[in-house]
Amino acid sequence: MAPGTEVLPLTCLMLLLLCRAPGAGAQRGQDFKLHQPQDKVSVKAGETLTLNCTMSGPSEPGPTKWLKGWGSGNRTIYEDTGFTPRVTRAVYESDTDFTIHIRDVQPEDVGTYYCVRFIKLLSGGNEVFRRGTGTEVSVLAQPSPPIVSGPNQRTGLRQSVTFTCTAGGFFPKDIGVKWFKDRDPISSQLPQVTEWREKSYNMSSSVTVVLGEGDVPSRLICEVQHSASPTVLRGTYQLSRVLRVSPSVDVSADQMSPIELNKTTKFTCHVKGFYPENVAVSWLEDGVKMKVQNDSRPSVLHRGLFEQRSQVEVQATEERNGSVFTCLVVHDGQAPVKRSAILWIASLDQKGLSKWSQKNNGVSELLGWGACQGGCLV
């Protein structure tokens, strides 16, 4: 040991290490700077959010963290001691740059974020040393593609039908909805907006339409406008999905009455102006179903409606005099429609005519050759 050198007790050495000279800590705190430059940041849902934070100057040992919110409700978003795949450092293990990236941002990430520097206490805990001014983050979430829905069953003409347009998962809350029938605007009430989850909303808008015969090719359009979407979003609905147009039915013959005995004639059933195309046509002779070879299929008329013709060939035998031939049409599972015609045979004696009259219970005096509207068949 050199002459004049004093040996300090071990306890005093430890105190010197733990204690700072008067004013030294305050000076170090003044020289330290924490810079959080972003006041507000807006990002679209699904994108990556970058939050900037840099530090300079001397500081006491301690961690740096990113917190969402301040006070009792704050939540730690990132710290070096934890592993968070969604949140990463821009410059890994840097002592001066604590910028972070948050991947796949969602509406629930809306809030104010703080970059905070802590110092370690002798007790082992951490104390706030410096806090950034905070970055207010807003997330623009585009609505899902609009979906237009209608009733579960088809509806006839001149009926009022309600259609609904829905879209969801958007933020902010404000949204605009317009309805069109083809190119014509339809008035509707303001959309109903409800909160789905934190900072995310759903929308529902309804409109009522009176269906007409010409609506088979028409469509409804729901247009949605939102600040998160660069374009107008559209949902469509073909009115043919819900519309039912019942057919008109008539029966005619290819020859004028009466028909010569044993000659052959044809009856034609014309089913026209119906939608959808699923229709079943059958023939009855005096109420008994006939075996008819008929391969006709519906064909398209104007405005998307359909028509179909069905024929039955009949030999004018004596026993068929006064027989009633009925076309039975079942369209789209609805109640059947019947139209009838009567076969007259030429040059029969009074006995034959009397037989027809008895069978048809006096209808012969009321009917001529041609169509018989439904109620003719007893």
Helix (H) / strand (E) containing 179: strand 176-181
Per-residue pLDDT tens over the stretch 103-140: 999 888 999 999 999 999 988 889 999 999 999 999 99
Largest pairwise CA distance in the chain: 163
111 and 186 share one domain: no
Please tell me the pTM assigned to this model.
Answer: 0.70
**Of the residues 78, 112, 140, the one at which a domain ends:** 140
Judged against a pLDDT cut of 80, whether residue 301 lies above it is answered with yes
Q: How much is the pLDDT for 75?
A: 93
Which residues have C-beta within 8 Å of that of residue 100, sequence separation ≥ 6? 50, 51, 53, 66, 77, 78, 87, 88, 89, 90
What domain count does the chain have?
3
Residue 1 within a domain: no
Same domain membership, residue 182 and residue 118: no
Cβ 74 vs Cβ 132: under 8 Å: no
Q: How far apart are CA 119 and CA 32, in angstroms?
A: 12
Domain final position from 97, 119, 140: 140
The tokens describing 299, both together, are 């064909």
The tokens of 155 are what?
A: 């509806």
**Are residues 252 and 228 part of one domain?**
no
Q: What is the mean pLDDT of residues 345-364?
A: 49
Instruction: Please tell me which residue, 20 or 234, carries the higher pLDDT value.
Output: 234
Same domain assignment for residues 63 and 122: yes
In this predicted model, which residue has the larger pLDDT, 2 or 98? 98
pLDDT(67) > 70? yes
- 24: pLDDT strictly greater than 50: no
Examine residue 27 and state whether it is found in any structural domain, yes or no.
no
111 is a domain residue: yes
Mean pLDDT of the region 172-187: 95
Residue 132 in domain: yes
pLDDT at 282: 94
Is residue 204 in some structural domain? yes
**Nearest one of 226, 260, 218, 265 to 243, comparing CA atoms:** 218
**2: in domain:** no
Q: Which of 108, 125, 140 is the last residue of a domain?
A: 140
Task: Compute CA distances 57 → 35, 96, 129, 276, whole Å.
Answer: 11, 9, 13, 79
Task: Write down the pLDDT at residue 71.
Answer: 87
Q: Is residue 327 part of a domain?
A: yes
Domain ranges, residue 82: 33-140
Quick one: average pLDDT of 61-70?
A: 94
What CA–CA distance (Å, rounded) separates 235 from 163? 12
The β-bridge relationship of strands 49-51 and 111-120 is unpaired
Q: Measuring CA to CA, how many Å separate 176 from each of 25, 165, 220, 347?
A: 58, 12, 17, 78
Same domain, 84 and 180: no
CATH code assigned at 198: 2.60.40.10
Written as six digits, the tokens of 318 are: 């004596």
Q: Is residue 256 part of a domain?
A: yes
Tokens of 295: 């391969």
Distance CA 293, CA 224 (A): 53
